[in-house]
Amino acid sequence: MKTYCKIITALTLLLASACEPQEKPASYPEGEGFFVLNEGNYLAGNGTISFYSLETGEIYNDLFGTVNGRALGDIPSFMAVEGSMGYIVVNNSGTIEAIDMATMESLGTVTGLASPRQMVINEMKGYISSLQDGGIKVLDLDGMAVSDEIEVGSSTEAMVISAGRLFAAHWSAGSTITVTDLATGNLIRTISVGLEPESMVLDCNGKLWVLCTGGWQGEEIPRIVRINTSTLEKEAELQFRTVDDNPSSLTCNAAGDTLYYLDEGVRRMQVTADALPSGVFIPAGDRLFYKLIAGPRGMVAVTDAIDYQQKGDLLIYNSRGELIDTEQAGIIPGYMHYMKD
């Protein structure tokens, strides 16, 4: 009789447990690490997302596809995070995928965008740049729908927000930064920088640094420009060596006092510097360095696209520029997002 009662009790507990809502397990370890957007092959729609854990020293590939049973789309190129939500910009598919950051579950897809490039978030609104439109789409994050558009008169790429102002780079055949007042939606000013401003960051002093490639045909010498975000004036203009230089992927460490960018490898400089560094911090060697991000404790992560066709590598370097780990990511590993502990 006692055995029978124990079986009935166990079954009751099991059924009760099955009826309770269960939390979905995370598809990657908790803690610090780097998300990597793998662009996939052009027009193949096989973009994926990976996570490299600084806790385990391992990479976890195809997180979105494993959970949702489908690929992200054609060329995922940027990722914005707000709390527990992530927003992945899928450039050639013209979509933004909203995901649960813990589980990678899709929570909705915004479609019909014209070549979206990047997205920044301010007060539950997402601002989406475009390679084809002359305006920046405004996404209502609560309703996951485009609610407005800011006309800037040119295509846009990199964006940052400072003191209620949206700074947007006119990258494709452009040479300007537009500044918009987010409270009114009015264009305040257009700042001339250099041909094709490709990437930009804010430093610890609130100054805006803009890397200009000089044009894909080498029309002018590339440069990095520093802008005062209060006065909207250029404070410095640091030129590279020749028109044949091909710098890209300007980024900044968490402290905001050190800049990194790609140029024959990884170069770094203090934000107090008045000239570009003459030496390479991490030589590229026979690697094809594609994207770069600064991590914690002086660490640097770089993607190697290999040949822009196959699965590439994620390379992790310490603060001395020493390679400490190499992991295979997805096809054409590109943009990275650092996840804090």
pLDDT averaged per 10 residues, the chain (length 341): 37 39 63 96 97 97 96 97 96 97 96 97 96 94 94 94 97 94 95 97 98 92 98 97 96 97 98 96 98 96 97 98 98 96 72
Q: What is the pLDDT of residue 26?
A: 57
Nearest to 311 by CA among 32, 91, 36: 36
The residue among 63, 146, 159 whose CA lies nearest residue 118 is 159
Closest CA to 144 of 78, 213, 98, 195: 98
Rounded (5°) CA angle 305-327-86? 75
Q: Determine the pLDDT at residue 245.
A: 95
What pLDDT, on a 0 to 100 scale, did the predictor assign at position 71? Answer: 95
Strand-by-strand arrangement of the 265-270 sheet: 248-252, 258-262, 265-270, 282-283
Q: Which residue, chain included where needed, has tokens 């976890």?
A: 60
Residue 133 structure tokens: 């439109």
Task: For the full predicted model, state whether its pTM sits above 0.85.
Answer: yes
Distance (Å, rounded) from C-alpha 322 to C-alpha 324? 6
CA 309 to chain centre: 21
**Is residue 191 classed as helix, strand or coil in its secondary structure?**
strand
Contact by Cβ (8 Å): 61, 88: no
